[in-house]
């Protein structure tokens, strides 16, 4: 009976996920924002009292989580994503409202699990939550350790310094005499150490205390600058006068982060986000909390973001190949990868009830990705060779152990992450082809993939092959030939 109703809704072009999304967001009061008054219990749905009773408690149940609840991790110290004062029963903010709406669409209660940034990765590995939704930045090491959703918004690292005219250049701040305070354990600490390697980086355990580091304390000199991001910076500028912003210095994406064991939940969340973006509800929520207006969950933008995330793993692929002695170039594997990509795209179209795109156009798009991936790997290995010291040859036992470690890292950790991203890219190819998204320009593709510094020819081929996909006339296409036996799930690396 349920299947009949769902089929009826699909035939009538009334997507049940979209209906659930709209209903969930209709229940959120329009006046509630990150800067509003007290917490509105209606945000947590009909069981708000039981949710707030569990606030602050660390979950200890199995990785799969309770059948009637969804354990959602939040830091509580990162507005506008999550703000949880000690006097409040529960958090509030953009991520909080997004999490509650998703839980309602799943007919699950929220159990808040509060985390500290330095311990987030350990908490994820220990299965202490089902997803983290608190302004977590997409990063290569996190993509391997867990599974990210589609991006929900974008941001960039921003320095706040005392107001001067003109403001100091970033090179002036990269000095041993300069102190820069930043939240400890999060993405921004890594950014600070990468962009300002010569400066004295002060990692502060409590993000709420970072701004106060600009004030001298007994026995501790004041910081010369603090590093935050483009979303939190306006709040800090309002809270303290006499400061100016430098940046953004990076381009980052924020997403939900799931344990590997919750891959299916991550896929479900992705589908929900696509529907939420399509209805305009996600844009409305961004506006309410002052986030960037970029529609990150539109299919084509999400596709470019997933390609960017996938390419960010290629340095780890190269490092593992270097340890194991494997070659970057493997034509047989590349052909298996292309066959798998064609199968994955066709299956994604079948699941969505849509006509698959032309296999030749799909093949061109994935070939462009492979060439970009190999270029990044070769660049890493060339730089590694150039920095090698004069050490003599390693003992045989050490070489064997190193090669085993490289193979294990590649096969057991990196390639499963690539498979997850490959499946998502295939799904987004289908969604992009059938969407009303405009074809991205070469410049838009270059911006989306800027961190990889790809040669112009590779960027242009990715852009042109993607435009060829979006221009493809949707028609019944012959099924691509099956890949060689045992290779229908080949990771693209």
Which pLDDT does position 58 carry in this prediction?
Answer: 35
Say whether both 310 and 415 belong to one domain: yes
- Does the residue 490 lie in any domain? no
- Nearest one of 311, 306, 281 to 295, comparing CA atoms: 281
Say whether both 140 and 209 belong to one domain: no
DSSP, collapsed to helix, strand or coil, labels residue 294 as coil
| Sheet arrangement for strand 225-229 | 200-204, 179-183, 225-229, 157-162, 243-246
| Sheet arrangement for strand 109-114 | 109-114, 69-74, 131-132, 257-259, 146-148
Say whether both 287 and 183 belong to one domain: no
Say whether both 307 and 412 belong to one domain: yes
Q: How many residues can be counted in the chain?
A: 493
- Does the residue 493 lie in any domain? no
Say whether both 374 and 416 belong to one domain: yes
Query: pLDDT per residue over 448-475, tens digit each?
Result: 999 999 999 999 999 999 999 998 644 3
- Does the residue 476 lie in any domain? no
* 64: confidence class by pLDDT, cuts 50, 70, 90: very low
Query: pLDDT per residue over 228-253, tens digit each?
Result: 988 888 889 988 888 999 988 988 99
Token output for 147: 């599974």
Residue that the structure tokens 């229940």 belong to:
27
Query: pLDDT per residue over 14-56, tens digit each?
Result: 444 444 444 444 443 333 333 333 222 222 232 332 333 233 3
* 374: confidence class by pLDDT, cuts 50, 70, 90: very high
* 71: confidence class by pLDDT, cuts 50, 70, 90: very high
Which pLDDT does position 47 carry in this prediction?
Answer: 32
pLDDT at position 342 over 80: yes
Say whether both 312 and 283 belong to one domain: no
Share of the chain residues as helix, strand and coil, in percent rounded to the nearest 5: 50, 10, 35
Is beta strand 82-83 parallel, antiparallel or unpaired with respect to 77-78? antiparallel
**Domains in the chain: how many in total?**
3
In the listed set 282, 297, 312, which residue is the last one of a domain according to the structure? 297
- Does the residue 418 lie in any domain? yes
* 446: confidence class by pLDDT, cuts 50, 70, 90: very high
In degrees to the nearest 10, what's the CA dihedral of 160, 165, 171, 172? -90
DSSP, collapsed to helix, strand or coil, labels residue 251 as coil
Which pLDDT does position 89 carry in this prediction?
Answer: 87
Say whether both 141 and 285 belong to one domain: yes
Say whether both 13 and 48 belong to one domain: yes
pLDDT at position 384 over 90: no
Say whether both 320 and 439 belong to one domain: yes
Tell me how far CA of residue 163 lies from CA of 175, 202, 243, in angstroms: 19, 21, 5
Cβ pair 462, 372 in contact under 8 A = yes
For the segment 138-159, the average pLDDT, to the nearest whole number, is 95
The 10 Å CB-count burial string (b at 16+, else e) for 458-469 is bbebbbbbbbbb
Query: pLDDT per residue over 299-339, tens digit each?
Result: 999 999 999 999 999 999 999 999 999 999 999 999 999 99
Residue 52 belongs to a domain with what CATH number? 3.40.190.10
Query: pLDDT per residue over 266-305, tens digit each?
Result: 999 999 999 999 999 999 999 999 998 999 999 999 999 9
Say whether both 291 and 304 belong to one domain: no
Residue 421 belongs to a domain with what CATH number? 1.20.59.10
Say whether both 221 and 73 belong to one domain: no
- Does the residue 492 lie in any domain? no
- Nearest one of 360, 266, 312, 359 to 493, comparing CA atoms: 312
* CA pair distance 158, 167, nearest whole angstrom: 13
Range of the domain at 275: 2-151+253-297
* CA pair distance 239, 298, nearest whole angstrom: 34
Which pLDDT does position 65 carry in this prediction?
Answer: 45
Report pTM: 0.77
Which pLDDT does position 164 carry in this prediction?
Answer: 79
Query: pLDDT per residue over 161-172, tens digit each?
Result: 988 778 888 888
DSSP, collapsed to helix, strand or coil, labels residue 336 as helix
- Does the residue 124 lie in any domain? yes
- Does the residue 9 lie in any domain? yes
- Does the residue 481 lie in any domain? no
Say whether both 131 and 38 belong to one domain: yes
């Amino acid at each position: 009976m349920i299947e009949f109703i769902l089929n009826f809704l699909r035939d009538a072009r009334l997507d049940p996920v979209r209906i659930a999304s709209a209903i969930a967001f209709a229940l959120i009061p329009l006046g509630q924002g990150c800067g509003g008054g007290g917490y509105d219990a209606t945000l947590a749905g009909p069981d708000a009292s039981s949710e707030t009773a569990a606030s602050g408690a660390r979950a200890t149940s199995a990785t799969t989580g309770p059948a009637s609840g969804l354990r959602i991790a939040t830091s509580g110290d990162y507005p506008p994503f999550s703000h949880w004062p000690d006097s409040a029963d529960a958090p509030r903010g953009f991520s909080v409202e997004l999490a509650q709406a998703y839980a309602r669409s799943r007919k699950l209660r929220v159990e808040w699990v509060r985390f500290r940034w330095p311990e987030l990765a350990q908490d994820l590995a220990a299965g202490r939550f089902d997803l983290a939704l608190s302004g977590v930045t997409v990063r290569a090491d996190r993509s391997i350790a867990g599974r990210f959703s589609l991006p929900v918004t974008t941001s960039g690292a921003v320095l706040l310094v005392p107001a001067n005219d003109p403001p100091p250049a970033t090179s002036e701040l990269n000095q041993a005499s300069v102190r820069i305070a930043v939240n400890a354990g999060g993405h921004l600490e890594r950014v600070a150490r990468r962009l300002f390697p010569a400066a004295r980086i002060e990692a502060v355990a409590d993000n709420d205390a970072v701004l106060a580091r600009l004030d001298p304390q007994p026995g501790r000199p004041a910081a010369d600058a603090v590093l935050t991001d483009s979303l939190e910076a306006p709040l800090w500028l309002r809270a303290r006068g006499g400061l100016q912003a430098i940046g953004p210095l990076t381009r980052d994406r924020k997403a939900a982060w799931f344990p590997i064991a919750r891959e299916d939940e991550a896929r479900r969340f992705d589908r929900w986000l696509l529907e939420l973006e399509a209805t305009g509800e996600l844009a409305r929520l961004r506006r309410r909390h002052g986030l960037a207006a970029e529609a990150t969950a539109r299919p084509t933008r999400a596709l470019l973001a997933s390609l960017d995330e996938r390419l960010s793993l290629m340095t780890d692929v190269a490092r593992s190949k270097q340890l194991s002695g494997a070659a970057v170039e493997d034509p047989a594997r590349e052909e298996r990868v292309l066959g798998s990509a064609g199968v994955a795209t066709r299956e994604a179209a079948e699941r969505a009830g849509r006509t698959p795109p032309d296999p030749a156009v799909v093949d061109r798009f994935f070939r462009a990705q492979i060439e970009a991936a190999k270029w990044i790997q070769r660049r890493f290995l060339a730089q590694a060779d150039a920095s090698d010291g004069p050490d003599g040859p390693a003992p045989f036992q050490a070489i064997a152990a190193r090669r085993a470690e490289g193979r294990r890292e590649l096969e057991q950790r990196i390639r499963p992450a690539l498979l997850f991203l490959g499946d998502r890219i295939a799904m987004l190819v289908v969604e992009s082809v059938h969407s009303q998204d405009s074809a991205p320009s070469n410049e838009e593709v270059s911006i989306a993939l800027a961190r990889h510094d790809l040669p112009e020819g590779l960027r242009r081929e990715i852009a042109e092959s993607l435009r060829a996909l979006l221009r493809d006339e949707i028609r019944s296409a012959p099924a691509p030939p099956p890949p060689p036996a045992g290779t229908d799930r080949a990771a693209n690396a």
